[in-house]
Structure 1
Amino acid sequence: MSDNKAPSPNVVQITEDEIERERERVRLSPVFTIIFSGFALMSDGYQVGVLSLINVCFANIYGDAYTSEMSTRLGNALFVGIVLGQIGFGFFCDRLGRKVGLLVTTFLVIIGAALCAGAYGAGGSTEGLFWALTIYRGILGVGVGGEYPCSSTNASESADSVMQGRRGMLVSLATNTMIDFGFVVAAIVPLILATAGCSYEVIWRVSFGFGVLPPLSVLYFRMKMTNSQIFQRNNLRRNVPYVLIIRRYWKYLLGTAGSWFIYDFIAYPFGIFSGTILDTAIGTNGTFVQTAEWMCLLNFFYLPGCIAGALSADRIGRKKTMTLGFFLQGVLGILMGIFYKDLLAIFPLFVVLYGVFLGLGEYGPGDMVILTSAEIYPTAIRGTAYGWSAAIGKLGAICGTSAFKPAIASLGHGDVTLGQSRVFILGSGLSLIGAIFAWLLIPDYTKQDLSYEDEAFKKYLEDNGYDVSYLGDASTTVSHESFQEQGVVATIGGSEKQELESDIDTTRL
Structure 2
Amino acid sequence: MSQPKDNKAVAPKVVHISEDEIERERFALLSDGYQVGVLSLINVCFAKIYGNAYTSDMSARLANALFIGIVLGQIGFGFFCDRVGRKVGLLFTTFLVIIGVALCAGAYVYRGILGVGVGGEYPCSSTNASESADSVIQGRRGMLVSLATNTMIDLRFVVAAIVPLILAAAGCSYDVIWRVSFGLGVLPPLSKNNLRRNVPYLLIIRRYWKYLLGTAGSWFIYDFIAYPFGIFSGTILDAAIGTNGTFVQTAEWMCLLNAFYMPGCIAGAISADKIGRRKTITLGFFLQGVLGILMGIFYRDLTGIFPLFVVLYGVFLGLGEYGPGDMVILTSAEIYPTAVRGTAYGWSAAIGKLGVICGTSAFKAAIASLGNGDVILGQSRVFILGSGLSLFGAIFAWLLIPDYTKQDLSCEDEAFKRYLEDNGYDASYLGGSSTTTSQESLQEEDMLAVIGGSGSEKLEVESQVDSRA
2:172 aligned counterpart, secondary structure: coil
Per-residue CA distance 1:199-233 (angstroms, 9 max, x = gap): 111111110011000011xxxxxxxxxx44xx2xx
Matching residue's letter, 1:144 = V
Counterpart in 1 of 2:322? Answer: 363
1:314 aligned counterpart, secondary structure: helix
2:271 aligned counterpart, secondary structure: helix
Mark the runs of 5 or more structure 1 residues left unpaired by the alignment: 1-25, 120-132, 217-226, 479-499, 504-509
Q: How many Å apart are 1:239 and its aligned residue? A: 2.1
1:98 to 86, 99, 106: 86
Per-residue CA distance 1:275-299 (angstroms, 9 max, x = gap): 0000000011111000000001101
Counterpart in 2 of 1:140? Answer: 114
Q: Does 1:66 align with 2:54?
A: yes
Q: How many Å apart are 1:462 and its aligned residue? A: 1.7
Q: Counterparts of 1:391 and 1:476 in 2: how far apart (Å)?
A: 30
Q: How many Å apart are 1:470 and its aligned residue? A: 3.3
Counterpart in 1 of 2:182? Answer: 208
Per-residue CA distance 1:4-42 (angstroms, 9 max, x = gap): xxxxxxxxxxxxxxxxxxxxxx87x44411111011101
Q: Does 1:87 align with 2:48?
A: no
Q: Does 1:301 align with 2:260?
A: yes
Structure 1 59/457 Cα, relative in aligned 2: closer, same or farther at 3 Å? Answer: same
Per-residue CA distance 1:347-370 (angstroms, 9 max, x = gap): 000000000000000000000000
Per-residue CA distance 1:455-495 (angstroms, 9 max, x = gap): 111111122222112325999356xxxxxxxxxxxxxxxxx
Q: Does 1:47 align with 2:35?
A: yes
Counterpart in 2 of 1:395? Answer: 354
What does 1:232-271 correspond to in 2, within 5 Å? 235-271=194-230
The structure that is helix-richer by fraction is 1
Counterpart in 2 of 1:426? Answer: 385
Matching residue's letter, 2:410 = S
Q: Counterparts of 1:475 and 1:172 in 2: how far apart (Å)?
A: 23
Counterpart in 2 of 1:493? Answer: none
Q: Counterparts of 2:430 and 2:384 in 1: how far apart (Å)?
A: 49
**What is the Cα-based RMSD across aligned positions, in Å?**
1.7
Q: How many Å apart are 1:263 and its aligned residue? A: 0.3
Q: Counterparts of 1:341 and 1:103 in 2: how far apart (Å)?
A: 48
Higher relative contact order (CA 8 A, sep 6+): 2
1:284 aligned counterpart, secondary structure: coil
Q: Counterparts of 1:334 and 1:138 in 2: how far apart (Å)?
A: 34
1:214 aligned counterpart, secondary structure: coil
Please tell me whether the aligned partners of residues 239 and 470 of structure 1 are also in contact (alpha carbons under 8 angstroms).
no
Q: Counterparts of 2:201 and 2:124 in 1: how far apart (Å)?
A: 20
Please tell me whether the aligned partners of residues 236 and 472 of structure 1 are also in contact (alpha carbons under 8 angstroms).
no
1:250 aligned counterpart, secondary structure: helix
Please tell me whether the aligned partners of residues 238 and 470 of structure 1 are also in contact (alpha carbons under 8 angstroms).
no
Q: How many Å apart are 1:501 and its aligned residue? A: 10
2:437 to 473, 476, 483: 476
Please tell me whether the aligned partners of residues 56 and 365 of structure 2 are also in contact (alpha carbons under 8 angstroms).
no
What does 1:108-507 correspond to in 2, within 5 Å? 108-119=96-107, 133-134=108-109, 136-216=110-190, 227-228=191-192, 231=193, 235-472=194-431, 476=437
> Does 360-369 or 454-463 show the bigger shift?
454-463
Counterpart in 2 of 1:221? Answer: none
Matching residue's letter, 1:336 = M
Matching residue's letter, 1:372 = T
Q: Counterparts of 1:472 and 1:197 in 2: how far apart (Å)?
A: 60
Structure 1 90/83 Cα, relative in aligned 2: closer, same or farther at 3 Å? Answer: same
Counterpart in 2 of 1:487? Answer: none
Mark the runs of 5 or more structure 2 residues left unpaired by the alignment: 1-14, 440-458, 463-469
> Does 159-168 or 457-466 show the bigger shift?
457-466
2:406 aligned counterpart, secondary structure: coil
> Does 109-118 or 312-321 show the bigger shift?
109-118
Q: How many Å apart are 1:118 and its aligned residue? A: 2.4
Q: Counterparts of 1:269 and 1:184 in 2: how far apart (Å)?
A: 17
Counterpart in 2 of 1:12? Answer: none
Q: Counterparts of 2:19 and 2:437 in 1: how far apart (Å)?
A: 21
Matching residue's letter, 1:421 = S
Please tell me whether the aligned partners of residues 226 and 320 of structure 2 are also in contact (alpha carbons under 8 angstroms).
yes
Q: Counterparts of 2:26 and 2:284 in 1: how far apart (Å)?
A: 23
Please give the TM-score of this superposition, normalised by the length of structure 2. Answer: 0.89
Please tell me whether the aligned partners of residues 30 and 159 of structure 1 are also in contact (alpha carbons under 8 angstroms).
no
Q: Counterparts of 1:95 and 1:371 in 2: how far apart (Å)?
A: 21
Aligned length: 427
Per-residue CA distance 1:316-358 (angstroms, 9 max, x = gap): 0000000000000000000000000110110000000000000
- % identity of equivalent residues: 86
Counterpart in 1 of 2:452? Answer: none
